[in-house]
Amino acid sequence: MVKEHTFAFFLGCIMPNRYPAIEKATKFVMEKLGYEILEMERATCCPAPGVFRSFNKFDWMVAGARNLCIAEQLDADILTVCNGCFGTLQEINKHLKENEEHRIQVNEKLKLLGDYEFKGIIDVRHVAEVLGYEVGPWGIEDHIVRKLNLKAAIHYGCHFLKPTRIREIESSEGPTIIEDFVEALGIESVRFKEQLTCCGAGGGVKAYSGDASMTIFGEKMKNIDEVKPDIILDICPFCHLQFETGQDYLNKNKECNYDYPVFHLSQVLAYCMGMDVDFIGLQYQMMGRDFIFGGEDVKKEEAI
Amino acid sequence: MSDVEEQQKNREFKTDDDFDTEFFKRIENRSNIMKCIQCGTCTASCESGRWTALKTRSIVRKVVLGDLSVLDDPDIWLCTTCYQCYERCPRDVKPTDVIMELRNYATKRGNISPNHRAVVGYLKNFGHAVPINDEVRKRRVELGLEELPPTAFKYKQEGDDKDLKKIEKYMFDLPPVKEEKKGEEK
Ligand code: SF4
Ligand code: SF4
C-alpha cells in the first residue's frame, strides 16, 4: 500500500525550469490541503511524449519507468502538474502494469541505469484530477480565503483526458471537471469556439515547425479573443508556455494585439487560498502583467 | 512523341521497390491498420491537418500498402498528438500511435530534424528537454524555492554525474546526420 495523502511530486522540465511559480503554487496548495509532498531526487524529463516517444518508443518507456521507480521507492503516488508528464508517466505506468513482456524487457534495460526495478505499485495523478475529483469543489470552499469574480477561457489541453480509454478520467468531447472546480473559486468559464482543440505545441511540432505550431495557435487565440475573457486558464506548463510565447509571437509577427494573462490552475487556486500575490509570479510572465486579481475576502465564521 | 507519351515519360511511377508489405508488420501487430476503411474520420478530426499538409487517412493507407516513401514524408512530423483521430476512428486504428511508430522508423533512417536532435542532446546533458537558465535560477530563489530543482542535473552540478552519464550512454542513440539531408531543413 502506498502512503495516504502523500505524493511524490514530479516536476518535469518546463515548470521548474521556466515557470517556477507554478511549482511554488502547487506545493502551497497541496500542503495547505493536508497532503505531504515528497521530492523526487534524481528525476529527469518524463521524457516528453511528443518528442522522445517519436524517436524511440522503447527508450521512452525505459526512461519513464526510471522516474516511476523513484516514486515507487518513496512508496507514494506521483503528482504531476503537466499534461505531457501525465501522458507519459500515466501511460507507461499503466502499460507496464498490464504487459508482462514489456515489463521484463524494460526492467532488463533499467539495470543499465542504476538500481531500478519497475514493480507497478503506484498510480500517476494529475493535479487537476486530484483537485477536481478528490478535493472537489465541495471540499475547497472551506479552504478559500479570497473569492474571485472573473471570466476565464479554460484550456484543457490534449493529454489530460486523451486517450480517454487509457486516462479514464472523463469524456474528452465535453468535459466539465475544471469548470465545476473553478466555479467554487468564483471563476466563470466562458465558452469559445473550438474550445477543446490543441494549442499546437505538442507532438514535437513546436520544435519541428514553428510556423505550423503558430498557425494552429493563432486560430486558438482568435477564438479566445472573440469572447474577451479576463484570463486564460490552463493545466499544463507546456500549453502555458505556448500561450505566453505565442501571444508575443502573434503580436510581433501577425499584427495582433493580445495581452491575456495566462495562469495555471495551481496559481489561481494558490491566490484564492491566500498565497502572497508576488509568489503567483505574474511579474515573471510576458503577458497581462497589469492584471489584478481583485476578488473579495471570504469571511470565515469562527469554528467552535 | 505525342503529348500523352511525353506525359507518360515524365510522370513518376511508383515501382515495386517502393513497397514492402512486410516492413510495417510490427505496426500491424499493434494498431489494427488492416481494419482501416479509409473513411477519413481521422483527417476530418485532425487539428493539425486543418492548417497543415498532414493527411492522416492517406498516411494510414500508405502504411497498409507498405509504401516506404511515407518514412521520408515530412508531414508525419506535423502531428501534434492531439489524439482526436485516436478517439474518433470507428475501426480503432489508433492513427496517433501509427504515426508515432512511423517516426521511430524514420528516426532510424536518420530522418530527424536538427531541432529534435538538439532536444535529445539536452536530455543527455541536463536530464531535461528544457534546461534551466540563469534568469529562472534567480526567480526560484526569489520565490523561496531551491535554486536548482532536485533533479538529476542538480546532482551533476554537485559533481555526481553518474545518472546522466548512464542516460547519455544507453538512451536515445541517434543515427548520424544524413549527408544529403544536411542543411535542407531549417
Ligand atoms: S478514421 Fe480510422 S478507419 Fe477511418 S480512415 Fe482514419 S484510420 Fe482509417
Ligand atoms: S493525433 Fe495527430 S494525426 Fe491525429 S488528429 Fe491529432 S494531429 Fe491529427
Domain residue limits at A71: 6-126
Measure the CA–CA gap between A205 and A253, rounded to whole angstroms: 19
* Final residue in a domain of this structure, among A68, A95, A126: A126
pLDDT at B1: 63
pTM, whole model, 2 decimals?
0.93
Residue A28 confidence (pLDDT): 98
Using the structure block, give the residue that is written with the C-alpha cell 514553428: A210
- Residue-wise pLDDT for A253-277, tens only, equals 999 999 999 999 999 999 999 999 9
Determine the distance in angstroms separating the CA of A137 from the nearest CA of chain B, rounded to an integer: 28
* Beta carbons within 10 angstroms of residue A190's beta carbon: 17
Report which of A200, A91, A87, A56 is spatially closest to residue B80, judged by C-alpha positions. A200
Write down the pLDDT at residue A203: 93
| Rounded distance from Cα B47 to ligand 2 centre (Å) | 6
**Is the CATH code 1.10.1060.10 the one for domain B15-108?**
yes
Residue nearest to atom 3 of ligand 1 (CA): B36
Q: What is the mean pLDDT of residues B126-135?
A: 96
From A86, A101, A126, the end of a domain falls on A126
Q: What is the pLDDT of residues A147-193, one digit of tens each?
A: 999 999 999 999 999 999 999 999 999 999 999 999 999 999 999 99
User: Does residue A119 sit in the same domain as residue A186?
Assistant: no
Strands (E), chain B: none
Could you read off the pLDDT of B37-83 as tens digits, one per residue?
999 999 999 999 999 999 999 999 999 999 999 999 999 999 999 99
B-facing residues of A in 20-39 (CB < 8 A) are 20-21, 23-24, 39
Percent of chain A with pLDDT over 70: 98
- Spatial distance between the Cα atoms of A193 and A212, rounded to a whole number of angstroms: 20
**Torsional class of A122: left (φ above 0), alpha (ψ -120 to 50), beta (otherwise):** beta
Give the CATH number of the domain where residue A279 resides: 3.40.50.11810
C-alpha–C-alpha distance, residues A295 and A220, integer Å:
28
Residue stretches of chain A with pLDDT short of 70: 300-304
B128 neighbourhood in chain A, CB within 8 Å: 13, 17, 44-45
B85, A162 Cβ separation under 8 angstroms: no
Residue whose CA is at the smallest distance from ligand 1 atom 2: B89
CA-closest candidate to residue A57, choices A80, A91, A34, A86: A91
Domain boundary among A104, A126, A148: A126
- For chains A and B, CB pairs below 8 A equal 192
Residue A146 lies in a domain: yes
Cis ω before A229 (30° cut-off from 0) = no
- Residue-range domain boundaries for chain B: 15-108, 114-172
Spatial separation of the C-alpha atoms in residues A301 and A203, rounded to whole Å: 49
- Considering chain B, what is the average pLDDT of its residues? 90
Per the structure, how many domains does chain A have?
Answer: 2
Q: Which of B55, B79, B89, B92 has most ligand 1 atoms within 8 Å of its beta carbon, as the pocket-test mutant?
A: B89
- Quote the percentage of chain B above a pLDDT of 70: 95
Does the pLDDT at position B186 exceed 90? no
